[in-house]
Amino acid sequence: MKFFIDTADIQAISELNEMGLVDGVTTNPSLIMKSGRDIIEVTKEICSLVKGPVSAEVVATDASSMIKEGEKLAKIASNIAVKVPLTWDGLRACKELTSEGYMVNVTLCFSANQALLAAKAGATFISPFIGRLDDINIDGMDLISEIRTIYDNFEFDTQILGASIRTVNHITQCALIGADVITAPPNVLKQLAEHPLTFKGLELFTKDWAKTGQKII
């Protein structure tokens, strides 16, 4: 399973990238707003750091404007994946942009039927939003399972990109179900390393080691 980082924070991306944990990056208008940076400049900087796909989202709502914005974003670097919303116009833009040879990430997916349409439109990635479904008491993981089954039934190449990840459990479940990619905020990815028994065990080893009076270096 590939790890994408869901942020436009250059420092956070660099830190995780140095550990080899960054297979790609996803951004959206809210994350660009949080970064306080110009979309073109910050996206260019991310693309220079990361080899894998970097999603940059269009903001227009009609297909022809989405296509124009997508073409402009795609010119930033060869690893741009143009992100379009899962609307009828977004699907039309997806079809056109993929036929022009660009990677497309279809975002704001909340149903298996939407994911089916995105695959038919040639999407490179489909982004089902797990956390936002959980927020309204619908199990977001059920959607990941349904899409996995449908895509496997018909051998669609579209990669399932689990998005709106809020907890490490979302990542475990995505891995078990077989999502191709997850995109998570940097703090959630770092939490994957945490376990209370690890901390407790380390504390005990440190205390016992002090009692030996030894040094390794």
Which parts of this chain interact with ligand G3P (CB under 6 A)? Answer: 6, 26, 28, 127, 129, 131-132, 163-164, 166, 183
Q: Which is nearer to ligand G3P, 44 or 166 (CB)?
A: 166
Catalytic choice (44, 68, 83, 95): 83
Show Cβ contacts of residue 30 under 8 Å, excluding neighbours closer than 6 positions: none
Shortest reach from residue 160's CB to ligand G3P, in Å: 13
Shortest reach from residue 80's CB to ligand G3P, in Å: 16
- The C-alpha angle 166, 160, 91, rounded to 5 degrees, equals 105
Nearest to residue 183, comparing CAs of 86, 109, 120? 109
Residue 83 designated active-site:
yes
Which stretches of the chain are assigned E, i.e. beta strand? 2-6, 24-26, 54-57, 80-85, 103-109, 125-128, 159-162, 181-184
Q: Which is nearer to ligand G3P, 74 or 184 (CB)?
A: 184
Shortest reach from residue 135's CB to ligand G3P, in Å: 8
Q: Which is nearer to ligand G3P, 83 or 148 (CB)?
A: 83
Judging by beta carbons within 10 Å of its beta carbon (0-12, 13-18, 19+), is residue 93 exposed, middle or buried? buried
Q: Catalytic amino acids?
A: 83
